[in-house]
Chains A and B, each alone.
Chain A
Amino acid sequence: QVQLVESGGGVVQPGRSLTLSCTASGFTFSSAGMNWVRQVPGKGLEWVAVIWYDGSKKLYADSLKGRFTISRDNSKNTLYLRMNSLRAEDTAIYYCARDSHSVRFDYWGQGTLVTVSS
C-alpha cells in the first residue's frame, strides 16, 4: 500500500535551517509528482511546493520568497524540503502529498511538526 513518512521536524531557532524528508513506499516513486503542504496547528492548509516526477520542474508558493527548496532522490524514494532563514511564522505541520497521473494529492503522509522558536 502507498505510504509516505515524513521526518526531520523539531524545534529550531529563528534564522536557522532545517531539512525535512518524506520517504515513499508502495508505489513507483519516480513516476509521481510530489508536494509539500503545511498547516499551522488548528488552522487551514497551505500549499508550499511541488516537484515533477523527474525533478525537472519545481514550483513554490510566492510567500516563501526563495527560502525553501524542494528536491528528490528517486534512487532513495525520498522527497526533501530544505528550509532556510526560518521564521516563527513557518511553525507548522509539514505534510508531503502525492500527485498521481490523474489524481492530485491522492495520498498524504502523517506530517512532521516544525517549531521555530528561540
Chain B
Amino acid sequence: DIVMTQTPLSSPVTLGQPASISCRSSQSLVHSDGNTYLSWLHQRPGQSPRLLIYKTSNRFSGVPDRFSGSGAGTDFTLKISRVEAEDVGIYYCMQATQFPRTFGQGTKVEIK
C-alpha cells in the first residue's frame, strides 16, 4: 500500500497570512495513463470532506483561487495564500493512483 505522510500535523495560522502543508508518498503517484492522482480534501468540523485540488494542481469547481497545489512524483504541497476564517479544519492529501486508495493523517489548521 502507498503510505501518505503529511507535515505538519497541526498548523496555527494568522488570518491573512499564508499556510502550507506538505504531503509525501511512499511511491511515485504517476499513473500508467500519465496522470498523477494526488488530491487535497478539506473537512470542516462536523462536515464531510470536500475536494479542493485534484491531479496535483487542479482546483475543483468553486474552490477559491487562494488555494493552490503543486508537486510531482512523491512530494506535494498545498498552499493557502491568505488564510480566511472559513479555512479552519483538517486537510487531507490522498492518492487515487493505486488501490487501495490511501489518505494522509490529516493536518489541522486553526487560527492563532
Contacts and interface: CB of A to CB of B under 8 A. Distances in A.
Interface string A92-110: 0001000100111111111
B39 interface: yes
A79 B48 CA distance: 18
Classify the interface of chain B: helix, strand, loop or mixed: loop
A44 B105 contact: yes
Contacts of A44: 92, 103-106
A61 B106 CA distance: 20
Interface stretch (A13-21, A45-53, A66-74): A45-53
B50 to A, nearest CB: 6
A35 B101 contact: yes
B99 A59 contact: yes
B48 A95 contact: yes
Contacts, number: 56
A62 interface: yes
Nearest to A103: B54
B48 A105 contact: no
Contacts of A61: 100
Contacts of B102: 47
Contacts of B35: 102
Nearest to B105: A44
A95 B47 CA distance: 11
* Listed residue (A59, A95, A104, A108) with the most chain B CB atoms within 10 angstroms of its CB: A104
A46 B103 contact: yes
Contact of A111 (B48, B60, B103): B48
Contacts of B92: 44-45
Contacts of B94: 45, 105
Contact of B48 (A99, A106, A110): A110
B3 interface: no
Interface of B: 35, 37, 39, 41, 47-51, 54-55, 60, 92, 94, 96, 99-106
Given A102-B55, A108-B49, 12 more contacts: A35-B101, A44-B103, A44-B104, A44-B106, A45-B92, A45-B94, A50-B99, A103-B60, A104-B54, A108-B51, A109-B48, A111-B48
